[in-house]
């Protein structure tokens, strides 16, 4: 059974228009740290599962505008600490996207995106 909070009551959601997107890009230092150790596909799948356990909905799509793959994690469930926050990553392939997303959430934000809600975009890739 999943650790994700189960409840038969109607779940209170954050309206999508109120979602705040955080950690737009990685800084050069963060990018260098990320690129030191490439993520294995199986580790990425495990980390995506952890994101779901933290209340995130994860989706993947092709970004026509930027001509790349994009993955996003949105937490709209008010029962979770990261409610109302979202983060995305773009890359050449799915593994690159997952790796960047996981790095943003678990390394840069240490699983808590709330401290990034008011920060301005920075960096070069993400």
pLDDT tens sequence across 75-84: 999 999 999 9
Give 37-50 pLDDT, tens digit per residue: 889 999 999 999 99
Pick the CATH number of 16-111 from 3.40.1000, 2.60.40, 3.10.450, 3.30.160: 3.30.160
Winning range, highest mean pLDDT, from 15-19, 21-25, 71-75, 112-116: 71-75
- Domain assignments of the chain as residue spans, ordered by start: 16-111
pTM of the model: 0.84
Alpha carbon distances (Å) from 40 to 1, 8, 22, 45, 96: 26, 36, 25, 9, 10
């Amino acid at each position: 059974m999943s650790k994700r909070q189960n409840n038969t009551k109607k779940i209170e959601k954050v309206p999508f228009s109120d979602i705040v997107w955080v950690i737009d890009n990685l800084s050069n230092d963060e990018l260098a740290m990320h690129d030191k150790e490439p993520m294995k596909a199986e580790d990425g799948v495990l980390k995506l599962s952890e994101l779901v356990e933290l209340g995130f909905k994860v989706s993947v799509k092709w970004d026509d505008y930027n001509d790349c793959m994009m993955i996003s994690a949105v937490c709209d469930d008010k029962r979770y600490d990261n409610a109302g926050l979202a983060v995305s990553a773009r890359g050449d392939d799915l593994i690159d996207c997952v790796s960047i997303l996981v790095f943003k959430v678990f390394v840069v934000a240490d699983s808590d995106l709330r401290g990034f809600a008011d920060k301005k975009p920075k960096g070069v890739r993400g």
